[in-house]
Chain A
Amino acid sequence: DGGITQSPKYLFRKEGQNVTLSCEQNLNHDAMYWYRQDPGQGLRLIYYSQIVNDFQKGDIAEGYSVSREKKESFPLTVTSAQKNPTAFYLCASRQTGLGNQPQHFGDGTRLSIL
């Protein structure tokens, strides 16, 4: 079945450590997005990419990095510079060039500090 797979479901980070969250989609979507969700907050955009080898910062990019080497993959690295990384991270994708389309989401990764 087509969909978006995020892994791992739960992740723990030690002080000073970088961690990478995986996001893979087999929907053949061009655009991919990373969001952060905190309790009582909506989703806030971290980074997005509309094409391979190109990506842009969202509203809260500081302390994060991404790559887009393949169409189906958009990993997010939470660096040690992100001082408050505990949150629920959601990856999404969207087809472009076909009119109005919704973004579709993966099941998320919960990141906590050890």
Chain B
Amino acid sequence: EDKVVQSPLSLVVHEGDTVTLNCSYEVTNFRSLLWYKQEKKAPTFLFMLTSSGIEKKSGRLSSILDKKELFSILNITATQTGDSAIYLCAVEEGGSNYKLTFGKGTLLTVNP
């Protein structure tokens, strides 16, 4: 069974729209949740969330975690064509191995 589920799997919007990407998870020993953006090559780090209710913000992107309901959202306001990418959510479990479990990703396409 999938431990990390992202929705939607794909999304097409117009420039200027606001989008919300969802990530739900089910792990027994949660350490942190991470968001990455992947264009053509390396995933690049966006946010790491460890505490509920504290919004992380970077420019037009923001993210928040709900540890009670086991989900996170990534918001992108005033989207631009450069935001087109796969957005990956991953959960790091506690312990000493620091392994990440990834969701399948959301493919975001922003049309001009």
Q: Enumerate chain A interface residues (CB-CB to B < 8 A).
A: 4, 31, 33, 35, 40-45, 48, 50, 56, 58, 90, 94, 96, 100, 102-108
User: When A42-B4, A43-B88, A102-B48 are in contact, do A96 and B42 touch as well, CB less than 8 Å?
Assistant: no
In angstroms, Cα B7 to Cα A42, docked, is: 13
A contacts with B: majority SS: strand
Taking CB as reference atom, which chain B residue is nearest A102?
B45
Q: Decide if B42 touches A106 in the complex (CB within 8 Å).
A: yes
Contact assessment for A50 and B105 in the assembled complex, using a CB-CB cutoff below 8 Å? no
A41 pairs with B104, CB closer than 8 A: yes
Shortest distance from the beta carbon of B54 to any chain A beta carbon, whole Å: 13
Q: A1 to chain B: closest CB distance in Å?
A: 14
Query: Chain B contacts of A31 at CB under 8 A?
Result: 98
Interface string of B8-36 (1 = CB under 8 A from A): 01000000000000000000000110101
Known: A50-B98, A100-B32, A105-B36. 5 other contacts (CB 8 A): A50-B96, A56-B97, A90-B42, A100-B31, A104-B45
**Interfacial chain A residues near B50, Cβ < 8 Å:** 100
B88 A42 Cβ-Cβ under 8 A: yes
